[in-house]
Structure 1
Amino acid sequence: MNRARGCDHPAGCHTGEVPTLASATTGARFWLLIEHRGPWAARLEECELPEPVHELIRRAADLGVRAQLIRRPLQRHATSGPVHVMVADTTAREPWIAEGVFLDPRDLDLGSLVRGVVPESCILVKEPVFLVCTHARRNACCARIGLPIARVLGESQPGRVWETTHVGGDRYAANLVCLPHGLYYGSMSQAAAIAAANAYRHGEIVLDRFRGRAGIPEPSQAAEHFVRVHTGELSVGGVAVETTRSDGDVTEAIVRHGDVRFRVAVERTMFAPCGIACADTIATYRLAALESFQCGTPVLT
């Protein structure tokens, strides 16, 4: 029998005290969301799903597509019939999300998705989609903290909010993902989730509790974060890493901000929530250097 894992994370988790920057899931460029209102096991392969859905999930894994089960807040009754899916490309030049309904989910062309093309029988979704992790069988905190947030956020953003399975980073529960850009937030409160969702609808992010953008390496997420802090740039597409070069724990990145380029050095370090002797350390990043690329004059070190 599957049992929910308890809240065994370090002190400071779920409170906003643990640094969240540069912690978005790096391997999630392409997404497959499958609506399933029935029970969720700890892992997708253990869920009681029709075999064609399991086959679709396995095909997604082979192609590097992140599969998630989703359901509307508070909907718990299993249904049969056509399968509702959504697919997204989060790191395309213009990120997109599309949806479709399939009598046989094996008809979904995931090959088109990984080529950056909207699959046949799917239509583009114009409104953003918000995912709140409520995966109790994976971690009890995700349900305890996530469920109230999913409910309240669903009232604030009707028709746009879904509960979802594990998105990565249980210690950051409650986790919120904004699609199609794949923006991750962690340690969310109800007020923080509403603020983040409202900002995203206006094409902006909120730096507080922002984990980063999925599908790009953690050092690049960190470099973008520190440029945003320095410039005050909050638009979703306002900064972008162009190149990176790593040497051990230090990564140097060239980050574009409008017509300006910044050379940013970030260093991987460890955060000890219980103090310097704490065994439960968490990997994070610190800013080592930041300078204007155009004039070469250091602006922050």
Structure 2
Amino acid sequence: MIQRFCARESLAQGDPLAGSAAHAERNLLLSWPRAKWQRSLRQASDMTDAVATRLEAIAEAGRRVNLIHRREQPGERHCLYLMPENRRYEVTRAELAAFLDALRRDAPLTRWEASSPAGPLLLCCTHGKKDKCCAKFGYAAYKALDAAVATHALPFDVWESTHLGGCRLAASAVVFPALRKYGRIDTADVLPLLEAEMADRPYLPCYRGDSRLSPVQQCAQVAALEWLAERSLHPSVSVSTPSDPEASRTSLIVKWQTGSDQGAVAVECIQRALQRFDTCADLDAPAKNTWVWQAVSLRQLEPHLHLQKKSCPHHA
């Protein structure tokens, strides 16, 4: 019997990466041995009730909580990150409840503070108790990312993580503090992804979008970035908001700037129906009908570089 995986089904169904990058901007990342992770993204089997309750309260107050792991981190001494503050802390198991109390009260955390991250923080979902794709594809991607960082002496902190959203898009990763999300990371993508992030730009073959944008804005952003990259441009971009949030077809303006050059393009996006399996647990049931955004055309508005109007057949 051939084993089925939701990630392979997603790819076969043409489920797009762009537009799937939803993620909270405020995050608490807490190191905890992976062997103790539960199905919940923020609970472990050996957590005290005091710690578990405080983590739930922090999540309810609006800060996403993920558990993270790497082999060299001592199990009884926790590394914690606050994002987007880009702060790092070292806390013993005995003091963890006190630290979380201080965080909830917005009290000083100075006595636990450690040096800030030297470079980007990269989390790769390996949460096998949530979905088997994250165990199979996520762990392979994590090992490859971690090995590449060590081999090339790159300034990344790479961690395994609990659920990051989009199990069907495994291997899935997020980069802080940029808050860029990636999916379907294969071993061939590892070094190019790290090199792109070193240049503070997204690696487009696996890019799901900027988590601060809505799904349709992410769709327009990725289409514009791909169009610009084809012209050897890697600018900063800004995306307009839809005039009608309920519309199933919309045109968004993406403005770009790099050095002395700037311009704008109009990206037309439509919603299309897709039947998919969100997780491996859904594979025994009928596929779910859902709606995804797709860029169908792109039109240049300010032809500073004499670029011609171009359609987006690769988004069709």
Contact kept, 8 Å, 1:290 with 1:298, in 2: the verdict is: no
**Distance in 2 between residues matched to 1:194 and 1:132, nearest whole Å:** 15
Query: Is the counterpart of residue 127 in structure 1 residue 119 in structure 2?
Result: yes
**Distance in 2 between residues matched to 1:217 and 1:7, nearest whole Å:** 31
| The 10-residue stretch of structure 1 (255-264 or 164-173) with the greater mean CA deviation from structure 2 | 255-264
Q: Which residue, 224, 246, 270 being the options, matches 1:227?
A: 224
Question: Structure 2 matches for 1:94-105, cutoff 5 A?
Answer: 97-102=86-91, 103=95, 104-105=98-99
CA 1:64/1:99 → structure 2, altered by over 3 Å: closer, same or farther?
same
Query: Is the counterpart of residue 291 in structure 1 residue 288 in structure 2?
Result: no
| The 10-residue stretch of structure 1 (249-258 or 220-229) with the greater mean CA deviation from structure 2 | 249-258
CA 1:231/1:137 → structure 2, altered by over 3 Å: closer, same or farther?
same
Q: Which residue, 174, 178, 190 being the options, matches 1:193?
A: 190
**Distance in 1 between residues matched to 2:15 and 2:201, nearest whole Å:** 23
User: How many Å apart are 1:187 and its aligned residue?
Assistant: 1.3
Identity of aligned residues (%): 21
Aligned to 1:264: 267
Render the CA deviation track for 1:68-89: whole Å, top value 9, x for unaligned. 10001x56x9822x43201112
Render the CA deviation track for 1:15-74: whole Å, top value 9, x for unaligned. 79642111112x4111111000141111146522233432442233223211110001x5
Structure 1 counterpart SS, 2:38: coil
Contact kept, 8 Å, 1:41 with 1:137, in 2: the verdict is: yes
Query: Is the counterpart of residue 61 in structure 1 residue 69 in structure 2?
Result: no
Structure 1 counterpart SS, 2:75: coil
Question: Structure 2 matches for 1:29-178, cutoff 5 A?
Answer: 29-37=25-33, 38-44=35-41, 46-48=43-45, 49-72=47-70, 74=71, 79-80=75-76, 82-89=77-84, 97-102=86-91, 103=95, 104-109=98-103, 120=110, 121=113, 123-158=115-150, 160-178=157-175
Structure 2 counterpart SS, 1:226: helix
User: How many Å apart are 1:99 and its aligned residue?
Assistant: 0.7
Aligned to 1:251: 250
Render the CA deviation track for 1:132-166: whole Å, top value 9, x for unaligned. 11001000111111112212211211462100000
Aligned to 1:3: none
Gaps of 5+ in 2: 151-155, 278-285, 312-316
Query: For the pair shown, which has the larger CA radius of gyration, 1 or 2?
Result: 2
CA 1:250/1:298 → structure 2, altered by over 3 Å: closer, same or farther?
farther
Structure 2 counterpart SS, 1:268: strand
Gaps of 5+ in 1: 1-5, 90-95
- After superposition, the CA RMSD in angstroms is 3.3
Structure 2 counterpart SS, 1:23: coil
CA 1:110/1:261 → structure 2, altered by over 3 Å: closer, same or farther?
farther
More helix by share: 2
- Write the letter of the residue equivalent to 1:97: N
**Distance in 2 between residues matched to 1:42 and 1:273, nearest whole Å:** 22
| The 10-residue stretch of structure 1 (16-25 or 183-192) with the greater mean CA deviation from structure 2 | 16-25
Query: Is the counterpart of residue 182 in structure 1 residue 179 in structure 2?
Result: yes
| The 10-residue stretch of structure 1 (220-229 or 44-53) with the greater mean CA deviation from structure 2 | 44-53
Residues matched between the structures, number: 277
User: How many Å apart are 1:224 and its aligned residue?
Assistant: 0.5
- Write the letter of the residue equivalent to 2:164: V
User: How many Å apart are 1:243 and its aligned residue?
Assistant: 3.1
User: How many Å apart are 1:107 and its aligned residue?
Assistant: 4.6
User: How many Å apart are 1:209 and its aligned residue?
Assistant: 2.1
User: How many Å apart are 1:124 and its aligned residue?
Assistant: 3.1
**Distance in 2 between residues matched to 1:181 and 1:136, nearest whole Å:** 26
Aligned to 1:209: 206
Render the CA deviation track for 1:203-245: whole Å, top value 9, x for unaligned. 222211211122321111011111112222774x711224332
Contact kept, 8 Å, 1:244 with 1:254, in 2: the verdict is: no
**Distance in 1 between residues matched to 2:187 and 2:78, nearest whole Å:** 30
